[in-house]
Structure 1
Amino acid sequence: MTIEVSKANGILTLEFNRIERKNAITSAMYQSLADAINAAQDDTDVRAILLAGKPEAFTAGNDLEDFMKTAATYTGAFGDRPVFQFMRALSGSAKPVVAAVSGLAIGIGTTLLMHCDLVYAADGTKFSVPFTQLGLCPEFGSSLLMPLAGGHARAAEKLMLGEPFTAQEAYDMGIVSKVLPAAEVLDHARAQAAKLVALPAASIRTTKRLMTSSRKAQLEAIIAEESKLFFEMLQGAEAKEAFSAFFEKRKPDFTKFA
């Protein structure tokens, strides 16, 4: 099993469980996540959702082998892929989403946190959004949400250079709610989810809706633009060089591209 799904005491827990691949996410895992979050919306026994990984890794992002295979063989619309289904489910969840993050949060592992409500990170967590290093562009609203949270200059440093950054930097940018010792993260996140469960569900849903409604149309528009450009760039020479270099375990050479 690669996504562990459990429900107890009003909390739906979705846990990445593929640690041998640093919890890299496959299409099947995205589909499991999307299905679970969508089902929770009409489940009155679920009042909060908890996303977690393992101490060694929240997630290293997309499984690139699976990603490339899916890109080559998927016959449906680009926006219908399981990753899109998951991100639509996550960002559209009426119920509060809490994340417990440790180890690594790479690529979409960082992006998805900007669509959660409460995010608790271990002090040693390494974050990164290395899309430019792959010849690609930001995804799923990160080009809007990261500058809104942390300001243009800090967001540009993260999104343009794609270099790793610390949990403290993520906190300073507003991506993370609190930084904790690694041994405390999951228990703290679960306790916070339990607090949400104990509060009036309608009040929590309404508060969340009010906090996100003003940016909803803008976010949907930027996600559509990002997705179009991401797909186009995925077919480009720079991305092909980046992925070839990754699989050949060498440094990519982008100097030959204008």
Structure 2
Amino acid sequence: MSPEGILVLKYNRPEVGNATNYVMMKDLLRALHWAIEESTVKIIVQTGQGKFFSTGMDLSSPQWEDDALQVLYEINKLMINCPKITIAAVNGPGVGYGASSIALFDLVYMVSDAYFFTPFVKWGLCAEACSSFTFPSILGRQRASHMILAGGRITAKELELAGLVSKLIPRQNFWQNVLDMAVSLARQPQEVLAANKRLLSVFWKQKLLDANEQELRVFKELLQTSSARAREGRFAEERASRKMNSKGTDQSL
């Protein structure tokens, strides 16, 4: 953590595009709990190591279906209720949860050449991280359907124009620019920041909590389908094929 009170949380599995497995999600949950309780933490910044922000849940993880859904639910709930300012420093493409979770942050800064997509239907899954509510609310129903139903990509520029991204920043000096903005926020009166965050989120909070509950229920239902039972093997095969074809440079879902 920096002397200014900025805590940086980083997805750190670059060899698989920062896909999040059960261990990583548990670590993130513990870190968020600590950051919320720790009085010296003023700003929470989340980013990714390497070329990707995150390519979402690692569906080949053997513990994924057993425990990670509940951990994911708890992380979303913490983000919704977090009293501190949260920043997503999107350093590269976001896929699945790496895209859907973005709207839970207060501020989203993104490199201008990145993109998002959410292949939920392809993998027999449903919308997550409250994106069943946030995407239609922010992007509009048709654009949200393009992402969630059709699995279509949306560029950084489109995301900024739609209002899902706060600001695009050139890749050169991206991280320093994000840190500068975080430091500027950390130097503001924290009680005033917190009061304004409450005002901005008061009408959204219950809808986000409801969406988180509903998505968890639907997710569990879909896990019982034949599509879900066949998913793990197909996911591992596709990742191996893509890694071979791209020599490890593209780990997106």
**In which range does the TM-score fall when normalised by the shorter chain?**
0.7 to 0.9
Deviation at 1:183, TM superposition (A): 2.0
Q: Which residue matches 1:177?
A: 166
Aligned equivalents of 2:124 and 2:201: distance in 1?
31
Deviation at 1:249, TM superposition (A): 3.2
User: Among residues 15, 24, 27, which one is paired with 1:32 in the alignment?
Assistant: 27
- Tell me if the contact between 2:104 and 2:129 (Cα under 8 Å) persists in the aligned partners: no
Q: How does 1:70-85 map to 2 (within 5 A)?
A: 70-72=64-66, 74=67, 81-85=70-74
Q: Which residue matches 2:99?
A: 110
Question: What is the aligned length?
Answer: 240
- Tell me if the contact between 1:23 and 1:57 (Cα under 8 Å) persists in the aligned partners: yes
Deviation at 1:227, TM superposition (A): 1.0
Q: Which residue matches 1:256?
A: none
Q: Which residue matches 1:13?
A: 8
SS class of match (2:108): strand
Identity of aligned residues (%): 29
Letter paired with 2:63:
K
**TM-score (normalised: structure 1):** 0.86
Is the alpha carbon distance of 1:42 and 1:247 closer, same or farther for their aligned partners in structure 2, counting shifts above 3 Å? closer
**TM-score (normalised: structure 2):** 0.88
Structure 1 unpaired stretches of 5+: 1-5, 252-258
User: Among residues 144, 156, 159, which one is paired with 1:167 in the alignment?
Assistant: 156
- Cα root mean square deviation, aligned: 2.0
Q: Which residue matches 1:60?
A: 55
Is the alpha carbon distance of 1:159 and 1:126 closer, same or farther for their aligned partners in structure 2, counting shifts above 3 Å? same
Residue deviations 1:182-211 (CA, integer Å, cap 9, x gap) = 123211211111111011101111111111
Deviation at 1:7, TM superposition (A): 4.2
Aligned equivalents of 2:110 and 2:141: distance in 1?
23
Structure 2 unpaired stretches of 5+: 242-253
User: Among residues 78, 89, 95, which one is paired with 2:84 in the alignment?
Assistant: 95
Residue deviations 1:77-102 (CA, integer Å, cap 9, x gap) = x86x3222222222221000011112
